[in-house]
């Protein structure tokens, strides 16, 4: 797949086929992402891939914690406010999704339902958690973001779909204990991964992007 095409056509997948991805393919996707740049080649990322009974048990645990009203304890705190430009884009997204799919992302009941679907990894056969040592700086968090992007692009190039999910880190303490990740690590991101169900209405909606002039200034 052409690089430009891969970047522009990748999208977040929220419905997957009931089809296992061979471990060698998943390993190749991660090995490709390993070539991401990082500060002084520190490569400050680690990953755990979960499938089958392990994934189902983790989903059940997160749903149970949520239904019992357990307070979220993500290692990366959720944003509490946004600058005007970013807030406008978020509000635009909410409006688009409501018009296209009838999903009101400002409704607490809808958010609660969305969390439950997230905790079940949108039905994907596999999930990948990315983490790093909590003593690392913001530069290393940036590097892990580069790794995550490379991973998603490599997956897309191989015909797989992914979606990065902040909600799947809501119960970081319990998740790390369940997966045997040391408490000293920072749980950054969960991703669902598998073969996309492109016929599903859940994958019919695509977000747009800001105009270049909104984000770039040219100086001579």
Write down the pLDDT at residue 74: 98
DSSP state of 16: B
Looking at domain 13-76+119-203, does it have CATH number 3.40.50.300? no
Of 7-16, 86-95, 104-113, 167-176, least confident by mean pLDDT is 104-113
Mean per-residue pLDDT, 171-187: 98
Residues 104 and 23: their CA atoms lie apart, in Å, by 37
The model carries a pTM of 0.95
Mean per-residue pLDDT, 124-150: 98
12 pLDDT band (50/70/90 cuts)?
very high
Write down the pLDDT at residue 105: 77
Write down the pLDDT at residue 62: 98
Mean pLDDT score across all residues of the chain = 95
160 pLDDT band (50/70/90 cuts)?
very high
Q: Report CA-CA distances (Å) from 214 to 81, 92, 218.
A: 20, 15, 12
Task: Tell me the per-residue pLDDT of 72-113, one tens digit each, with 9 for 90 and over.
Answer: 999 999 999 999 999 999 999 988 888 888 888 778 888 888
Each domain of the chain, given as residue ranges in start order, spans: 13-76+119-203
Counting Cβ atoms within 10 Å, is residue 179 exposed (0-12), middle (13-18) or buried (19+)?
middle
Write down the pLDDT at residue 103: 81
Write down the pLDDT at residue 204: 92
Residues 128 and 148: their CA atoms lie apart, in Å, by 10
């Amino acid at each position: 797949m052409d690089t430009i095409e891969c970047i522009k056509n990748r999208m977040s997948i929220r419905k997957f086929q009931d089809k296992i991805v061979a471990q060698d393919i998943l390993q190749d996707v991660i090995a490709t992402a390993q070539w991401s740049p990082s500060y002084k080649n520190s490569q400050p990322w680690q990953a755990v891939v979960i499938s089958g009974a392990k994934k189902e048990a983790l989903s059940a645990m997160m749903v149970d914690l949520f239904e019992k009203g357990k307070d979220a304890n993500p290692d990366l705190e959720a944003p509490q406010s946004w600058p005007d430009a970013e807030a406008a884009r978020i509000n635009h997204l909410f409006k688009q999704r409501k018009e296209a799919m009838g999903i009101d992302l400002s409704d607490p009941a809808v958010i609660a339902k969305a969390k439950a679907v997230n905790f079940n990894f949108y039905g994907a056969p596999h999930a990948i958690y990315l983490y790093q040592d909590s003593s690392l700086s913001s530069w290393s968090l940036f590097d892990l973001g580069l790794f995550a992007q490379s991973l998603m692009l490599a997956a897309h190039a191989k015909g797989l779909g992914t979606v990065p999910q902040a909600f799947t880190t809501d119960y970081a303490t319990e998740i790390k204990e369940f997966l045997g990740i040391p408490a000293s690590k920072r749980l950054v991101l969960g991703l669902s991964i598998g073969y996309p169900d492109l016929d599903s209405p859940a994958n019919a909606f695509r977000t747009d992007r800001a105009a270049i002039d909104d984000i770039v200034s040219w100086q001579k």
